Each structure stands twice: as C-alpha cells, then as structure tokens.
Structure 1
Amino acid sequence: MKIVGVGIGPGDPDLLTLRALNVIKSSDVVVVPTSSRRITYNAVKPYLSDKEVIEFQLPVRGERRVYGDLVDSLKSYNNVAYVTLGDPAFYSSLYRLRQYAEIQQVIPGITSFSWCSSLNRIPIALGKERVLITPSPLLESGADTYVYMKGEVEGGIKCGNGYFTVTIKRSTQGV
C-alpha cells in the first residue's frame, strides 16, 4: 500500500496543484477527513467520478488508535490519497498516520496564510523580515510578521507604530 498525503490548498478546485490532481486521479481510494469534509470533499469532487472515497472521522485529542484502524482498512488498496486542506506540513492530521504506516510521498498545497496574503496583495515577509506562525499570539517574540492560525485572538491584536492587521476568519475558498 502506498499512502500519499495530498495538500489541496484552501478549498478552491482551481488552486489544486497539478501534482495533487495527478495523485488524486491515479489513486484507488481517496481518504477525506470528516471534520473538514464539506470543504475538502467539494474541492476534489470534480475528480472523483470513479474513485472510492473513505470518510475518516478525525479523533478527539488523545484517541490516536483510530489512525491505526484507518490504516488497517486501507490495506486492500495499492494507491491511497489522503487529502488535507492547505499544506500537509501545517496543522494536518496526515503525520499522525506515521505510527501505523509509511507515508510514501507528501504533495504540498497552498497554505491558508499564503492564500490570504495573495487575496489582500500583502507580502508575508520581505528581505530579512522574520515571520512567526503560531496558533496563539506571542507578541514578545520579536518577529516582523505574525501569522495566527487555528486560534482565537481575544480582543483583537494591538499593533505598534508601523504595524497593521488583516484579520481573516475561515479563509477557505470552499466555504
């Protein structure tokens, strides 16, 4: 069994990379995490006409055995595409599978923060600027750019001189 992690970007089918599209088309089965199923599934749906799709309910914290159960259920397939929103390297469930099976390949996708940067025509960093990507505010880090993901910023973000904020909630295109 060959498992390939496929980042599908922010949820717009037009933003799938060619490599992601080719892996999905050549797979025997596509695994779709159900916590984001509507967005994830809709982004790849145009390419699934003859594919078997397995919905995978992401576990609550600490219940990692379900990844082993998922791997067991995939053993009859040769080519498995495990699709994730954004890029598999950022806050993805893909790497939880490593305890149970080898991930043969990972196809990167467009991250939500790259997508938001592009939508607003604002660079994430220029020159030697430092970037911090975190699920919660850490303003004392000394970074030039902060990207807060997966968390709530209580009361907004206080900015010093020369700084501004762009707040985007649920940046996925498929919503």
Structure 2
Amino acid sequence: MTKGKLTGVGVGPGDPELLTLKAVRKIRESDVVVLPVSDRGLEVPVFSGENEREEDGLNNYQNRCVAYQIVKKAVPQVEKKLKMYLPVPMIKEKDRLKKIHDMDADKVCELLEEGKKLVFLTLGDPSVYSTYMYLHKRILKMGYEAEMVPGIPSFCAAASRINDSLAEKEEQIHIIPASYEIGKALELSGTKILMKAGRKLPELKRRLQGRSEKVVMIENCGMENEAVYQGAERIPEEAGYYTLLIMKEEKE
C-alpha cells in the first residue's frame, strides 16, 4: 500500500477569497482534515464521529477554529470530511510540548500508513510562526511525506488593507513576535511588524508613544470583526489574539 501524505495548508489571514487555488484543491482532495486545538481540555488526538458523547465538545473546537471557519466559506465540502483534532496548547514548557507534539505525530503517522491524504489547516502561511511546523518536521524525520501550501501572510494582507507598502528600495522588513522581549528589535531600522501582539498591548502602547515611526494596528484582518487603529495613541488596551502592528519610518 502506498503511504499517505501530510499537507500543511495556509488558509490566509481571514478573507475566504484569499485562499489559493492550490489550497482549495488540496482540501477537496483530502481524506482527513486536521484541526489544531489550543484548548487545554483536549489532551489526546480524537476524530469526529468517534464518540457521540464527545461530539458537542468537538463541535465547539470546530466552531472556535478560525482556519476551519475560513475554509468552510470557500470549500463547503469540508464539512462532510473526517476531521482529526490535535492538541496544540499555547504553552512554553518545552518538555511537555515535545511529548504532545510527538504524540500528535504518532497519530498522524497511523493514518499515513493507511494511505490517507491529510491536510492540516493553519492561518496565514505555514512557515510563519505556525504550530504546523512542529508536526511537519517530525513527519519528515519519521520517513513520511509532508509538504506545505503557502498562504497569504497576515502582514501582507494588512499592508493591502491600509493601502501602503511594507518596504521600498533598500528598506528592510523585520518580523517580530511581540509575545517575547522586543526591546532591541524596536531599535532596528526599516519596517517592523509586531505579530501576535494582543496580550502585550498595554506595554506596547507605552513603548510606542512618542516614537518617530508611523504606527498602525490591525486586529482580525480580513475577518468580519476587523478593526484598524491609526497611531500609537489610539491603540486600545485590549485586543484579540490575531492582532499585529506595523511600524514604518516616516519619509521626508
């Protein structure tokens, strides 16, 4: 029997029309749709339809999976596909995370041994701060086939949303994870993109006020509840997880 393949599919930032043709095709051709679940209540991988008592909880995970909700609007057939829910908690405990990722990879390999085609849905692009990469690397190391389908990154969509470029000529672009220490990164020249900034907004707002750069915050870019804030002083104290800031040096 031919072994299956795992494909990490980037679904873009939020607008279903931004899915690529290749992403749509891979989803349609798949046997199993893999949904990452950050909720700590899910401790082991489970499948839809496996246990009727658990179905309400799984539907809740499904409804909260932003990537899946985006795909549903572009590929309605995805609702009828078998779904596997993988625990991917947002924690920084390396040993615990390793055990969880190893467990996820083992379960995926069971399906690959059966010749199944799996698609793992991830927001934006799978190569940019995506939990998919932990699985991708393990699957390849274990001797199975895995690939990635690129998606439009949130910062590119955000630049289009505010009708501005990210960089021109010799200007540099710096992509910065805002949930970590960013002091030195703020001193870099060029355009700075602060990703996943929601939890650090109060601190970021204090740091950014009074600086010379132009600052724009975009929350939930491409989604129904999208919001744009121009200027550091207008940044709210709270925002959702899918929040990024673009800092650009003012031109003369």
TM-score, normalised with respect to structure 2:
0.62
Match of 1:30 among 18, 33, 37: 33
How much identity, in percent, do the aligned residues show?
A: 33
Provide the aligned length of Structure 1 versus Structure 2.
172
Of 8, 16, 20, the residue aligned with 1:5 is 8
After TM superposition, give the deviation of residue 141 of structure 1 in Å. Answer: 1.7
Q: Which of residues 19, 22, 30 in structure 2 aligns to 1:19?
A: 22
- Per-residue CA deviation, residues 18-76 of structure 1 (Å, 9 max, x unaligned), is 01111111111011112394311111222304311112221332222222222222323
**Conservation of the 8 A alpha-carbon contact between 1:32 and 1:55:** yes
- Give yes or no for the alignment of 1:95 onto 2:95: no
Report the counterpart of residue 86 of structure 1 in structure 2. Answer: 124
Structure 2, unpaired ranges of 5+: 39-60, 226-252
Which residue pairs with 1:145 in the alignment? 191
Structure 1 runs not aligned, ≥5 long: none
1:121 matched to which residue of 2?
163
Q: Which has the larger radius of gyration?
A: 2
Q: Which has the higher helix share?
A: 2
**Aligned pair partner of 2:177 in 135, 141, 159:** 135
CA distance in 2, matches of 1:11, 1:71: 27
Query: What's the Cα RMSD here?
Result: 2.0
Aligned partner of 1:70 among 69, 88, 104:
104
Does the residue aligned with 1:69 lie in a helix, a strand or coil?
helix
Letter in 1 for 2:221: S
Give distance in 2, aligned partners of 1:91 and 1:167. Answer: 19
Name which structure has the greater RCO, CA cutoff 8 Å, separation 6+.
1
Distance (whole Å) between structure 2 residues aligned to residue 165 and residue 47 of structure 1: 40
Report how far residue 4 of structure 1 moved.
0.8
The answer to whether the Cα contact below 8 Å between 2:10 and 2:151 also exists between their aligned partners in 1 is yes
Range 69-78 or range 23-32, more displaced:
69-78
Which residue does 1:106 correspond to in 2? 148
